[in-house]
Amino acid sequence: MIKSLLLITLVLQMCSTQILEVCNSCMFISQCKAATDLYYKRDYKSQKLLQEAYCGCQQYNGRVYLKVCCSDILPLEKRKENLLPNVCGSISGNRIIGGKKANLGEFPWMAVIRYKDSNRMCAGSVINSKYILTAAHCVFKFPIDYVIVGEYNLYEDPDCEYLPGNIVNCRPNIEMKVAKVIIHEQYESQSKPSKNDIALLRLDGVIDFQKSGVEPICLPVSSELRNKKLALKTGIVTGWGYTEDNEPSEVLLKVKVPVNRKCYAVNSLCAGKKNKDSCIGDSGGPLMMTDFYNNVSSYIQYGIVSYGPKKCGSSKGAVYVDVKQYVKWILDNLRE
């Protein structure tokens, strides 16, 4: 009864308003599937979206029918997808896969998380101009000082390489403050491996992709990518090689790791083999594979470095957050 009254109230409110959306797709709610789906959700967010798309109402056989701009209404998840870039994860044709040292600009979405405690460091990945994706355990207890994007050599700024013909290619490091830390609400730090070990950092500012040389990595947003079977496929992990007992590598490193058939952790991927695992990379960094995104071959981030064995390089490999299982959570927490 309460839900019926809410719907009646919605109809009366919208038909009495004088503010109408002008569009070429004004039609009855029943003729627009996206609007129908929202109508029967009957929650505040859905009503708000319908009100924003309202373009009139019409009486028929004594009943009042609402009209909406169908082209203005997208499923909520699809609307969030618009906050992710259409172009991402670019692959350079001259890259050499298989070595330990990455090339300058090879993985332009890599980010370094720096803390008040200068001895700590984690990694992350740029997913759009305002957000970094990382592991929850990287940001759960430790105050962040700033994030560096466009980083390659930890001890140089800018990072430069010499090309044939004595041409110098340089990329600046960009320090950015963090406006908000968003940790998964069901993150369990005490379990080993940690459950729901995923977090987002909203930057205090916007990354200028055109001027900085920084690019975002792609996420497995489409149903095809989310349903992809990854067992026995090979991914790439990148990072600066920092562990609690060792100094970080000066330059960005990369390693190829095979995804295991099964993983002992929920919503996770297990990957690596003897002497090939994420000890070569940082916590919070990406596990990625090449795939098609918007019909372009690109790097897709399928994992986040979460937890590894005490003995680095053991045959057991490491545990990665399975990003495919958290796409909805990521989209739900993005804001313009």
Q: Indicate which CATH number applies to the domain containing 121.
A: 2.40.10.10
156 & 17 share domain:
no
301 & 174 share domain:
yes
| pLDDT for residue 245 | 45
281 & 163 share domain:
yes
213 & 300 share domain:
yes
**Residue 227 predicted with pLDDT over 60:** yes
Q: How confident is the model at residue 93 (pLDDT cuts 50, 70, 90)?
A: very low
| pLDDT for residue 11 | 56
Contact predicate 176/146, CB 8 Å? yes
Number of domains in the chain: 2
239 & 318 share domain:
yes
Last residue of a domain, one of 22, 48, 80: 80
311 & 249 share domain:
yes
Could you say which of 283, 298, 306, 322 is catalytic?
Answer: 283
Q: How confident is the model at residue 253 (pLDDT cuts 50, 70, 90)?
A: confident
32 & 107 share domain:
no
Tens of pLDDT, residues 12-61: 555 655 455 567 788 888 888 888 887 877 666 677 778 878 888 887 77
151 & 198 share domain:
yes
Give the list of residues 6+ apart from residue 225 with CB closer than 8 angstroms, or none.
291, 293, 300, 324
- Rounded to whole angstroms, the Cα distance separating 132 from 251 reads 20
Could you say which of 72, 125, 137, 291 is catalytic?
Answer: 137
Position 91 in a domain? no
pTM of the predicted model as reported, rounded to 2 decimal places: 0.74
208 part of the active site = no
Position 86 in a domain? no
283 part of the active site = yes
Tens of pLDDT, residues 152-175: 999 888 888 777 776 677 888 999
Q: Which tokens belong to 110? A: 């890599």
Environment class of 317 (CB within 10 Å of its CB; exposed 0-12, middle 13-18, buried 19+):
buried
Position 85 in a domain? no
| pLDDT for residue 120 | 85
What letters, b where the CB count within 10 A reaches 16 and e where it falls short, cover 292-306? Answer: ebeeeebbbbbbbbb
137 part of the active site = yes
Last residue of a domain, one of 80, 104, 126: 80
- Rounded to whole angstroms, the Cα distance separating 38 from 294 reads 27
Nearest residue to 305 (alpha-carbon basis) of 287, 325, 323: 287
Position 87 in a domain? no
Last residue of a domain, one of 31, 46, 80: 80
Position 235 in a domain? yes
Report, as an integer, the average pLDDT of 143-150: 94
Could you say which of 72, 184, 194, 197 is catalytic?
Answer: 197
Tens of pLDDT, residues 189-221: 887 778 999 999 999 999 999 888 899 999 999
**Where in the sequence is the domain holding 306, given as residue range(s)?**
96-333
**Residue 2 predicted with pLDDT over 60:** no
